[in-house]
Chains A and B, each alone.
Chain A
Amino acid sequence: MLQTKDLSYSYDGQHQLEFPDITCQKGEHWLILGQSGCGKTTLLHLLGGLLTPKAGSVTVAGTALERLTASQLDHFRGQHIGIIFQVPHFIRSLNVGENLALAQHLAGLPVDYTRIQSLLERLGIGHKTSRPPEALSQGERQRAAIARALVNKPALILADEPTSALDDVNANEVAQLLEETATDVNATLLIVTHDSRLKSHFSKKILLEPQQVQSTL
């Protein structure tokens, strides 16, 4: 389902980050742990096609990302990959429901308000559909971000520190909802975090070693 091979990335052309090969099956939930600075976010961006690797390959649902053109990659991401960030951001001029509708439209899918409403209700914020994002609490906003990542029923869900900005109660709830909703759509879930509160939720873990940033010279 998700497979990486010899993945490496370089910010400046001289120093490079190297990542272990990852293989995840469909519907599996993984935790990628590591201290800050070990390239967790970089890895997530590589997996999501937001960054182009220096070398190596990323294959999602049978598609090798490096074979796609820039706009094909954007379309692929919209349809098959849902991404959740540490701080949930939205298009401020749109309400929560419209943000989700935009995600459907940009992915080239028909806008389905029934799906949007039921998803938001599943995440316990069904009454916030027509509210502007800034009217939501931090926890509600992260749930709305989960809804946006899930609205197109992606094959792969990537989450970058989804709980580290939340208190214990919210962190637990969000982690649980993330797992449940990923299971709903049978998606592969990958959470990148250094939040130790999540360790107990997940059995499959990858540990990123703090990298000696290697010089290619």
Chain B
Amino acid sequence: MNLLKLSWKNLLYKPLNLLLSVVLFALGVGLVSFLLNVNHQLEENFNKNLAGIDLVIGAKGSPLQLILCSMYHVDNPTGNIPLESARAFLNPKHPLIATAVPLSLGDSYRGFRIAGTTYDMPELYKARLAQGRLWEENMEVTVGATVAGKLHLHIGDTFKSSHGLVEGFDEHEHDFRVVGILEPTGSVIDQLILTTTQSIWASHDHSTTATDSTAADAHEHEHEHVEVAPQMPDSVSLRKMAEAQRLELMNHPDKQITSILIRFRSRTNIQALNMGRNINENTDLMAASPPNEIARLQTSMGQGANTLRWLAWVIVVVSGLSVFISLYSSLKERKYELALVRVMGGTRSTLFLLIILEGLLLAVLGYAAGMVVSHSGLAAVAGYLEKSYRYAFASLKFLPEEGWLFLGSLAVGFVAALLPAWQARNTDISETLAKG
């Protein structure tokens, strides 16, 4: 028997009061922690997927849409651009551009986007092969880790793509074949199906038959799933092959691609910095700067998040108030008990400490319940967020801010208990006992 146990038993004695205080506390703490996590993980996601990209070139439209579509694969393309006007940027000898990643988007397989691109793409996101090899021929695909995991794709599996990002809608007739699976990177490439640009052209070009689809259908999912050792080319030869692929694309000025992700040779070169404006002013293409667009997006999202955070703190304060009211109103009926504690040898400080402990206990319980609420809430929406943001959400990740939130909760519990504790400390024992 000690004071902590006594305060715990006192709380348990009034289960409904306990429940109300804890639920309110949990709501406030849960909301704060939830917002912190969503905000943090979105920010982390956005930053990780920036991947050092300095400029995105695509068709005219909304620059934010172009960024969201080409870098985060959330939105639809703004349209296509003719290689005729874009080919200059793909040239490996371009004086300002270090890396240019052509992207042909628009098709998907069961909700995962198929991107026609070059080996610049895995190079950009530092992706490694887990199994098999990178795509070489048309209609061969290398899939990201999440795609392979979610769709149970194995090397040798075949599938048909569909138009747009909605599954089972407007299927193309050609079969893609999985030749490699990437290791997880935590970036957006985990969620992509990568193939040659020419494959996208071919599947949209209904007059040509790229592969014999009937033969492929026949052995779909019938073969043994064998682990295939990864065959990743080294960085130097990967770059060489990527450049060769870009040069090959430049030979098709009549074809179209969706966008180009660009990394400058030097970020301090004044010509490079002016490149975006030059493109926007002098060509039919649009150039958008990811850091600028994301900063703008975060500012507008941040305002909403800020409002919610204020609301959450208001709930925390209200829950503090409920702790205060429940402790304060319990004093009256516990006056005799408090006097008894003094009769049994407890001092004024004992009474003060007893009530403070009750406030702190409520705060700890509320915090714990709030963490459960926020992290199970995160787990519940993780699926949705992963779909709409193409990013795996960690629901069991704890932020340092949540440690501060714990201290904040303790402070709220302490402050809420302060006045009742002082009142308890000053109980007139003789008068209370004489009244019986």
Query: Footprint of B on A, CB under 8 Å?
Result: 41-42, 45, 48, 50-51, 70-71, 74-75, 77-79, 83, 85-87, 89-94, 98, 101-108, 111, 148
Distance between A168 CB and nearest chain B CB, rounded to angstroms = 22
Known: A41-B434, A87-B436. A70 touches B347 (CB 8 A): yes
Distance between A6 CB and nearest chain B CB, rounded to angstroms = 20
- Is B340 touching A89 in the complex (CB atoms < 8 A)? yes
Partner of B341, one of A42, A70, A86, A106: A106
Closest to A95 in B: B9
Partner of B344, one of A70, A78, A93, A111: A78
- Is B344 touching A103 in the complex (CB atoms < 8 A)? yes
Known: A50-B430, A50-B433, A89-B340. A98 touches B1 (CB 8 A): yes
In the complex the two chains form, what is the Cα distance from A79 to B430 in whole Å?
19
Sorted nearest first, the 6 A-B pairs with minimum C-beta distance are A78-B345, A93-B13, A101-B1, A107-B345, A71-B347, A93-B9
List B contacts of A93 (CB < 8 A).
Answer: 6, 9-10, 12-13
- Is A91 touching B343 in the complex (CB atoms < 8 A)? no
In the complex, per-residue mask of B7-51: 1 if CB is within 8 Å of any chain A CB, else 0: 001101100000000000000000000000000000000000000
Distance between B68 CB and nearest chain A CB, rounded to angstroms = 57
Contact sample, A vs B, 9 pairs, CB 8 Å cutoff: A70-B347, A71-B347, A71-B349, A74-B346, A77-B343, A92-B337, A94-B6, A108-B345, A148-B344
- Is B434 touching A45 in the complex (CB atoms < 8 A)? yes
Closest to A81 in B: B343
List A contacts of B368 (CB < 8 A).
Answer: none
Closest to B338 in A: A91
List A contacts of B1 (CB < 8 A).
Answer: 94, 98, 101-102, 104-105, 111
- Is A51 touching B430 in the complex (CB atoms < 8 A)? yes
Distance between B352 CB and nearest chain A CB, rounded to angstroms = 12
- Is B343 touching A83 in the complex (CB atoms < 8 A)? yes
List B contacts of A106 (CB < 8 A).
Answer: 341, 344-346, 350
Distance between B115 CB and nearest chain A CB, rounded to angstroms = 64
- Is B337 touching A89 in the complex (CB atoms < 8 A)? yes
Known: A93-B13, A94-B6. A50 touches B436 (CB 8 A): no
Say if the beta carbon of B348 comes within 8 Å of chain A: yes
Known: A89-B336, A93-B12, A93-B13. A45 touches B433 (CB 8 A): yes
Known: A51-B430, A86-B436, A89-B336. A102 touches B347 (CB 8 A): no
- Is A91 touching B337 in the complex (CB atoms < 8 A)? yes
Interface size range on B against A: 20 to 34
Query: Footprint of A on B, CB under 8 Å?
Result: 1-2, 6, 9-10, 12-13, 336-337, 340-350, 429-430, 433-434, 436
Closest to B2 in A: A105
In the complex the two chains form, what is the Cα distance from A74 to B425 in whole Å?
13
In the complex the two chains form, what is the Cα distance from A41 to B347 in whole Å?
22
Interface contacts beyond A45-B433, A91-B6: sample of 9 additional A-B pairs, CB < 8 Å, sorted by A? A50-B342, A71-B349, A77-B343, A85-B436, A91-B341, A93-B12, A94-B1, A94-B9, A105-B2
Closest to B10 in A: A93
Closest to B350 in A: A106
In the complex the two chains form, what is the Cα distance from A75 to B337 in whole Å?
17
Closest to A108 in B: B345
Partner of B347, one of A42, A45, A75, A101: A75
Known: A87-B436, A98-B1. A107 touches B6 (CB 8 A): no
List A contacts of B12 (CB < 8 A).
Answer: 93
In the complex the two chains form, what is the Cα distance from A118 to B10 in whole Å?
27
- Is A50 touching B344 in the complex (CB atoms < 8 A)? no
Most buried by A among B10, B336, B436: B436
In the complex the two chains form, what is the Cα distance from A108 to B10 in whole Å?
21
Distance between A107 CB and nearest chain B CB, rounded to angstroms = 4
List A contacts of B341 (CB < 8 A).
Answer: 91, 102, 106
In the complex the two chains form, what is the Cα distance from A207 to B410 in whole Å?
55
In the complex the two chains form, what is the Cα distance from A79 to B347 in whole Å?
13
List A contacts of B345 (CB < 8 A).
Answer: 74-75, 77-79, 103, 106-108
- Is B347 touching A74 in the complex (CB atoms < 8 A)? yes
- Is A78 touching B346 in the complex (CB atoms < 8 A)? yes
Closest to B340 in A: A89
List B contacts of A83 (CB < 8 A).
Answer: 343
- Is A90 touching B347 in the complex (CB atoms < 8 A)? no
List A contacts of B344 (CB < 8 A).
Answer: 78, 102-103, 106-107, 148
Distance between B147 CB and nearest chain A CB, rounded to angstroms = 57
Distance between A144 CB and nearest chain B CB, rounded to angstroms = 13
In the complex the two chains form, what is the Cα distance from A87 to B350 in whole Å?
24
Closest to A86 in B: B436
List B contacts of A101 (CB < 8 A).
Answer: 1
In the complex the two chains form, what is the Cα distance from A89 to B342 in whole Å?
13
In the complex the two chains form, what is the Cα distance from A119 to B345 in whole Å?
20
Distance between B53 CB and nearest chain A CB, rounded to angstroms = 63
List B contacts of A78 (CB < 8 A).
Answer: 344-346
Partner of B433, one of A79, A85, A94: A85
List B contacts of A148 (CB < 8 A).
Answer: 344
In the complex the two chains form, what is the Cα distance from A79 to B429 in whole Å?
18
- Is A70 touching B348 in the complex (CB atoms < 8 A)? yes
Distance between A77 CB and nearest chain B CB, rounded to angstroms = 6
In the complex the two chains form, what is the Cα distance from A179 to B350 in whole Å?
32
